[in-house]
Amino acid sequence: MYIPSSVSTKPIQRGDFYEDCHYHPMLCLSAEGDKLVGVSLVTGGMGVCSEHDCAAVPMTVEEAIDRKLHWDEIAEDLQDLPEAIHWERIED
């Protein structure tokens, strides 16, 4: 199963890729305070997350593209996870 390699506490900024609370790879369109607005690379839909409450995880562009390309396989694996699993943050 995919685990982001870039888990950190560095704030997500406009133009960054991140994993939202639905495990979608997202492109950040706006980052104001704790609020992230992004577009899902999986569905093309817009999403709003709290960087801390939703435990959004920074991703590299390579990780985001890989997640998009393998979404069907990943989504099957995610069905077996409890609903409230978030990756632990580590200090930079």
> Structure tokens of 68?
């998009």
Between 61-69 and 71-78, two packed helices, what is the crossing angle to 10 degrees? 80
Tell me which H or E stretch contains 74.
helix 71-78
Please state the φ and ψ torsions of residue 81, each to the nearest 5 degrees.
-85, 150
pTM greater than the 0.85 cutoff: no
Q: Please, what sign has the CA dihedral across residues 66, 69, 45, 3?
A: negative
- With 80 as the cut, is the pLDDT of residue 10 above it? no
Task: Determine what percent of the chain is predicted with pLDDT higher than 70.
Answer: 76
The pLDDT of residue 28: 97
Instruction: State pLDDT tens for residues 33-78.
Output: 889 999 999 999 999 988 778 878 899 999 999 999 998 888 887 7
**pLDDT at position 2, please?**
47
